[in-house]
Structure 1
Amino acid sequence: MKYELRDNKIYILHEALATTATSSKQDQPQRVDVKGVVADSNGEPIIGANISIPGTTTGTITDYDGNFALTVPRGSVLHFSYIGYNSQEIRITDQTTLNVVMTEDSEMLDELVVVGYGVQKKSVVTAAISRVTAEELNTNRPSRVEDALKGKVSGVQITQSSGQPGSDSKFRIRGVGTVNNSDPLFIVDGMEVGGGINYLNPTDIQSVEILKDAASSAIYGARGANGVVLVTTKSGQEGKVQVNYDMSYGWQNPWKYKEVLNAQEYMVIMNESDINDGNMPRYSHDQIATIGKGTDWQKETFYKNAPVQSHQVSISGGSPKIKYFISLGYFDQAGIVGGDYNKSNYSRWSLRSNNTYEVFEDINRSFLNKVTAGVNVGYSRGKSTGVETNSEYGSILGSAVTFSPLVPVYASEDDAASILASRPHAVTDSQGRVFSLPPSGFQEIANPIGMLNQPSSGVNNDDKFVGTFWGEIDVLPGLKFRSSYGVDLSFWGYDAHTFPYFLASQGKDVQFSSVQSEMNRGFRWQLENYFSYNNTFNDVHNLSFVLGQSASKYTARNLGGSDRDLLETDPIKAQINSAIADRKEERAWGGTFGHNGVTTASYFGRIDYNYAERYMLQATVRQDGSSNFGSNNKWGVFPSFSA
């Protein structure tokens, strides 16, 4: 017999229980109360340093005096970390008091981040700025830049409008900032660009800085109200010519299917519905037993192993006088719904050339001793097709999860003959097979495979050219003058056609042919001139400032037209109908035209001071004038201060 004394009570244990209790007690690691102080190399306490046991949820942070206290298992490892300092680990044995000295991570603190109209050391930035490097961007071989930024930056939410290849994303920095438009301001190599940054090839990007608060974005005035995204593309480096080629090829599949009824389960449920309504069940036991699984519309609809591929080639190098970077990229993605029917695809070609020229340099001069110029240009052409998205009725996916499993993909020969007799425009495949029609009662739902074969198409085309031409002069030691002129030229359009077809009585019965075409053009020019100064006095007083002006103008035009009852039914020649003179008045359907623009002028300045890179002050102000403002309020002032 075994017994154990616990809390002044005697417990009689069976042999097995005694053995278990003893071994369990022996296996449990002893816990140690650890306390201590975390400080830097100068003895100053570090407030908010993280102390944790890797792989567990056990942890704490230091208080205002750098103190901490934690109970941990003997033999565990404590991990100490803090932004700007090197992490370290200490194994706990018998020690109960720790004095931890953390050293500065010089590489991190010396890292430069791009801010508005300049760069700063990360260690002296007083505003909320996050940086994503080229290595971080291309970890998962993203198709587009905004996809690459997902999950990389705190406070930034990027959501795709749909699963369609090439679909736009919503970019939000710290939530919704303004009522009408919450998109941030996008700056690429100093040039403001419209429509986001998805036209860029992710492999062409050197870094992305995101300005998230007023202190960092005030230098851009009213346009920075929702945050600013600064993109710096790659440039050539002095050295031998480097040629790089990178490619990837993959496949896409739906990660899950909706759970729906098969044919037998569907029959049983329909019989139960009939009985509950006081009617006789419509399906017999024999019918249920012999029907099988029926049609799995989701598996019929999805494109299995939809391909996605990308190719990039770049050439870079340079001499002390000339540095260059040239790249060519191609990306192609087929959608998992409609990609095999050329109904949902996205492709993009991109071309970039960044060049820097040293025009003049004389190190023996203290005035106007260096002149540098550069050209950064990029071109992108995108093409996309798509199916209807985000709709439970009338869409392909909506029908794929709601269409009856009792209906086959193709109509029987007898049914096909009957359908064609009454509906000559019934949809058929390339072999002439007629697609099944929905049973009565299925409103706004049609055969999803028939929808993929219906005689209609829509193509989006996007062309974008962004170029920046700049020059920089070293006026005095620490003082530079920079002037730049940039353009953003965009063309985008949509071409679509539809010919008579029949798939269902509601929503899928088109009696006439139609064609639609839209063309849009946007052009922005931007001229900026500014002085920048950066110097250190007595090794501890660091002063820098930026002072300059900016002017820009944006104009946009759009033209669209549509027509119906086409005389030419070849999809390739559908647009030719508009040129046919013998037209009936009722065939003319409609057209649109629009023109708008805005002109802005701005003055801006920023001053930064820090003492020994420990105490920092920053003040920023920008004055914006816009043709969109009222006649009595043409100008607005946007200041900020941070420390």
Structure 2
Amino acid sequence: MEKRLNGILTLFLAFVVQLTFAQDLTVTGTVTDAEGLPLPSVNVLVQGTNTGALTDFDGKYSIKAATGSKLVFSYVGFLKQTVTVGTQSVVNVSMQEDASQLDEVIVLGYSTKGVEEVTGSSVQLSGAELAESPTVSVDQALQGRVAGLQMSQASGTPGSVADIRIRGISSINADNDPLYVIDGVPVANTNVSGSDNYSSLNPLASINSQDIETLTVLKDASATAAYGARGSNGVITTKSGKAGDTKFTFSSQVGFQNDAFNKRDVLTGAERYTLLNEALYRSYGPNGTIADLGISAPGNGISELLSVDDFYDGVTDNDWAGEIRNEDALTQNYTFSASGGGEKSNFYASLGYNKTEATVIGSAFERINGSLSFDRDLRDNLKLSTSMNVSNITQNPVLENGTFFSNPFITRYLMNPFNSIRNDDGSYNIDLPFGSLPNIFYVNENNVTRNALTRALSNTKLDWELYDGLTFSNRVSIDYQLNEYTSYRNRYEGDADDINGDIAISDQKNFNLVYQSSLNYGFKLGENHNFDITTLFEYQKNQNTYLFGSGENFPVDGLIQINTASANFDADSQFEDWYNVSYLGLVNYNYAGKYVLDGTIRREGSSRFSPGNRFGTFGSVGAAWNVHREDFMAGNIFNTLRLRGSYGITGNNGVGLNAYQPLLTYSANYADNGAGFPSQFGNAGLTWEKGESFDIGLTFGLLQNRISGSFAYYNRRTYDLLLNVPLSLTTGFDEQARNVGEMVNKGIEAELGIDIIQTEDFTWNISANYATVDNEVTELALGANGSELDTEAGSSYKTTRTGLPLRSWYMRTWSGVNADTGAPEWFLNGVDGEVTSNYNAAARVDQGASALPTYSGGLGMRLDYKGFFAEGNASFAGGHKIYEQYAQFYLRTNSFTLNSYNGVSELLDRWQQPGDVTNVPKLDYGRNDNFHATSSRHLYDGDYVRLKNVAIGYSLPSKFVESVGIDGLTLTLRGTNVATWVKDDGLLLDPEVRANGYTALTTPPVESYTLGVNIKF
């Protein structure tokens, strides 16, 4: 006790001495970065106290301190700097960037944290990275840049939706699409195309990537639990103004594009002529007659029946496939923006225009958009932030999502090349003698198909600082989408020629309202205990209205409105709405920046479930240890060494509206009368699908971050799956939505970056990321007999069973072509050994893979030398298989392919005589050998590598640009999707396919080359 009293007395005397001899000063000065630019809101504290000052917008500060005191200057992304106060009253400080803290601020939607305060797994891309990619929709720029994010641009039609999966597929039947959060607000982002048969339309294409500040991908429970039912997310922040004089930026990207990868060629007329004669000869011999074909008609020769010689000379190549391509399709993107501000307010405004042609005739995309954000300090403790983004999109979609005669890609592969494209006078030939496909060129010129999306996204936030560190915020966001769809089909050629033309028009309106109210309190206890606490209430309402009308039989050409049709009028209207209400709590604590703990809890209610099961509780806990901040790490080669881990439970409510209710459907056309009839069994006990996630990771940086990277392991168990379970037909219903089943995704993720050379004039760095997904179904619903219910029952391609990945390929196994007979063969037991030419006798077995990639990643490199730069990055994926479903149309060996339609050039490799070794059986016009039927013959390894981005450019030195009155000028020549390599030589269509794993006859992803100009002034 005496020793303690002596210590206290000593401290008291030292304090008295300091008060007696130290001179109080009002110290002023400026704080700038290493380039002399002012840093706003820098903390200036007297060491050992919690009192201090903040710099204003010019980096100026004023603080009272005694001589001998130490001033501590801190700002995110810069090294702390300590200055001892002497007798000077002016102290100017130049802050140096902290190599271990660059790109530190992570935007998590509801909060923004330094990277060392985050315990979850997330990847943030800067707006500059996204803007470099000349894509219509910003999500397309993510491919290969984020470990664990698998993406396929299944259609290259401008504005179409991409398939994005983060850490694999987490649900069998419920929603797997990521949620997008723009400026802290969840928005609606589902396909808004007016027809499922035409190209999809992505609402995210309404956002100009030039207006985006950052995009963060959240992956584990600690990062995503704040969103409750929403699961994995893409968090977007748009640009806002910065203090200082108004700055202007103009960017331009102009170029052209073609199909990225398509090696599937069709038969020319001459080739098809040869194969047709061979197939006829094998079936009927040299003296075959019409009677051999089972057709009663005059004449004796088969050639007479087919009438080939009357329309085709055996030489001419009617290149339907070639003319359908829109070679060197033009792409243009322009953005003009302004940004600036003063002491109390700032703004950002932009205007953009994009016009992109598709690589197939008849399709194009056009967007005009404007954005404005404005921040204003209404008082010292009251701040208003508001933003508005308005855009209009016009897309000419393609009839590509199905086997429709007017699908241009059906024409590309199936049109009989004996048909001529034009008549002798140059007009399009609409009296085609062979097959039933229309002349797509006439259809394209005389049909009208259009999606027009107008989107207005408004976001207003008011922050009221009640007292130091405690802020009360209110935010209101409105996302309004109006989509107008028009489909006019002409009277003479195509799908409506038999009804003298038709018209269908629809209007779909989606209104999404979000209100958020939150309290945030950030404070310190002592020197080392840092707390940040947030409570939030969120209300979301979504309303969707749909109005449709149609008519048939037009009296004349040129009329494309419903009121000018004269028959078979129809109309439809629908209304849907849903609501979410959430209560959220977030707690983040760190001790001296070394040890971090955070927790999230969200109580969320969804109108998709019955009142008794509407709410679910989700949450997470996370921890991190910033090892590099420990004293024992002083002098170590590690700038960053960080361990983190998290555990949490998230939810999914992605089930149909009113799925819990027994329903009656009312129809105005039930046996020509209005009637109501049972349509849904319902399930009042239906509730949330849940995901339990565990994640652990290591982040490192050494040698002044010359080498940096991370490694993570994750395990996510999804249970109480929302599945449609078959019912006994005695119930009068075929299925019921239930919570049953379980599935597991686990894997690793790794990222690595190396600065190989880093000098004042020359830098060379490389980067890589790699991720795996091991998917397994562990529990399914049971049928009445106690056996598992396969969710793929009835499919000839796939199965879903416990112990296997979701939707595993399940089919007969191809053995090859019998070298003696030319007949196709399959393994009798489905594995090996005995073979059979009887397709139905062969067993179906698991093919050892699913449609889902088991690994993916990316590689990147950049060189900089005195203003010149070169960069490139590639993406890859594999471990899965892809099925060429349309082989059943163009890869048959009989009359189906060789009579009315066309085949692919692979048929030229057919078996012709004993001893031939080939993978294509003999041609036989009148025989069905089932070569086209579902088997591993048409199943290919999906592994591929794609060179996504290659660029060279030059940024003019400041001494040159300043002489002409501008602040910066950068020229860039960029290529995207410039090369593609596939593992399986048999995979001739583009390897980027939808999550279902089928190749499709759609617009392939594009290879583009653009010249970019960026001017700042």
TM-score (norm 1): 0.72
Deviations 1:258-281, CA, capped at 9 Å, x for gaps: 323333322222222122123339
Find 1:190's aligned residue among 177, 184, 188.
Answer: 184
Find 1:634's aligned residue among 614, 638, 650.
Answer: 614
Q: What is residue 249 of structure 2 aligned with on the other side?
A: 244
Deviations 1:107-166, CA, capped at 9 Å, x for gaps: 436711012421111122111111111121122222211112222212222333422222
Q: What is residue 34 of structure 1 aligned with on the other side?
A: none
Contact 1:393 1:445 in 2 (8 A): no
Deviation, 1:257, is: 5.2
Residues 193-204 of structure 1 mapped to structure 2, 5 A cutoff: 193-195=187-189, 197-204=204-211
Contact 1:545 1:606 in 2 (8 A): yes
Q: What is residue 19 of structure 1 aligned with on the other side?
A: none
RMSD (Å) for aligned C-alpha atoms: 2.8
Cα distance change, pair 601–270 in 1 and its aligned pair in 2 (3 A) = closer
Instruction: State the alpha-carbon separation in 1 of the partners of residues 416 and 515 from structure 2.
Output: 61
Deviations 1:382-430, CA, capped at 9 Å, x for gaps: 11112221445522122222323333222347xxxxxxxxxxxxxxxxx
Q: What is residue 412 of structure 2 aligned with on the other side?
A: 400
AA aligned to 1:174 is: R
Contact 1:215 1:641 in 2 (8 A): yes
2:261 paired with 1:265: no
Instruction: State the alpha-carbon separation in 2 of the partners of residues 293 and 569 from structure 1.
Output: 34
Q: What is residue 574 of structure 1 aligned with on the other side?
A: 561
Cα distance change, pair 588–399 in 1 and its aligned pair in 2 (3 A) = closer
2:331 paired with 1:308: yes
Please state whether the residue corresponding to 2:157 is helix, strand or coil.
coil
AA aligned to 1:143 is: V
Instruction: State the alpha-carbon separation in 1 of the partners of residues 428 and 136 from structure 2.
Output: 37
Deviation, 1:604, is: 0.7
Find 1:388's aligned residue among 384, 393, 399.
Answer: 399
Find 1:328's aligned residue among 344, 348, 351.
Answer: 351
Residues 404-423 of structure 1 mapped to structure 2, 5 A cutoff: 404-412=416-424
Deviation, 1:291, is: 4.5
Q: What is residue 181 of structure 1 aligned with on the other side?
A: 175
AA aligned to 2:462 is: G
Cα distance change, pair 258–460 in 1 and its aligned pair in 2 (3 A) = same
Identity %: 25
Deviation, 1:374, is: 1.2
Deviations 1:475-513, CA, capped at 9 Å, x for gaps: 22222221111111111121121231136xxx6743322
Instruction: State the alpha-carbon separation in 1 of the partners of residues 215 and 553 from structure 2.
Output: 50
2:160 paired with 1:167: yes
2:536 paired with 1:544: no
Instruction: State the alpha-carbon separation in 1 of the partners of residues 497 and 414 from structure 2.
Output: 19
Contact 1:602 1:623 in 2 (8 A): yes
Residues 171-570 of structure 1 mapped to structure 2, 5 A cutoff: 171-178=164-171, 179-195=173-189, 197-222=204-229, 224-225=230-231, 227-255=232-260, 256=262, 258-280=264-286, 282=303, 291-292=314-315, 294-338=317-361, 343-361=362-380, 370-391=381-402, 394=405, 395-412=407-424, 433-435=427-429, 437-440=431-434, 442=435, 444-453=436-445, 455-502=446-493, 509-567=497-555, 569-570=557-558
Cα distance change, pair 152–608 in 1 and its aligned pair in 2 (3 A) = same
Q: What is residue 129 of structure 2 aligned with on the other side?
A: 136
Cα distance change, pair 627–399 in 1 and its aligned pair in 2 (3 A) = closer
AA aligned to 1:527 is: Y
Deviations 1:33-76, CA, capped at 9 Å, x for gaps: xxxxxxxxxxxxxxxxxxxxxxxxxxxxxxxxxxxxxxxxxxxx
Greater Cα offset, 106-115 or 590-599: 106-115
Deviation, 1:434, is: 4.0
Contact 1:469 1:486 in 2 (8 A): yes
Cα distance change, pair 274–181 in 1 and its aligned pair in 2 (3 A) = same
Please state whether the residue corresponding to 1:219 is helix, strand or coil.
helix
Greater Cα offset, 606-615 or 303-312: 606-615
Q: What is residue 25 of structure 2 aligned with on the other side?
A: none
Cα distance change, pair 235–618 in 1 and its aligned pair in 2 (3 A) = same
Deviation, 1:236, is: 0.5
Instruction: State the alpha-carbon separation in 2 of the partners of residues 298 and 110 from structure 1.
Output: 48
Instruction: State the alpha-carbon separation in 2 of the partners of residues 609 and 536 from structure 1.
Output: 10
Deviation, 1:219, is: 1.2
Please state whether the residue corresponding to 2:564 is helix, strand or coil.
helix
Cα distance change, pair 567–110 in 1 and its aligned pair in 2 (3 A) = closer
Residues 598-637 of structure 1 mapped to structure 2, 5 A cutoff: 598-637=578-617
Instruction: State the alpha-carbon separation in 2 of the partners of residues 550 and 508 from structure 1.
Output: 49
Instruction: State the alpha-carbon separation in 1 of the partners of residues 588 and 255 from structure 2.
Output: 48
Q: What is residue 29 of structure 1 aligned with on the other side?
A: none
Contact 1:328 1:350 in 2 (8 A): yes
Greater Cα offset, 541-550 or 629-638: 629-638
Cα distance change, pair 403–588 in 1 and its aligned pair in 2 (3 A) = closer
Find 2:114's aligned residue among 109, 113, 121.
Answer: 121
Instruction: State the alpha-carbon separation in 1 of the partners of residues 540 and 274 from structure 2.
Output: 68
2:144 paired with 1:151: yes
Instruction: State the alpha-carbon separation in 2 of the partners of residues 301 and 109 from structure 1.
Output: 49
Greater Cα offset, 233-242 or 106-115: 106-115
Deviation, 1:346, is: 0.8
Q: How many residues align?
A: 494
What runs of 5+ residues in structure 1 fail to find an aligned partner? 1-83, 85-103, 362-369, 414-430
AA aligned to 2:613 is: N
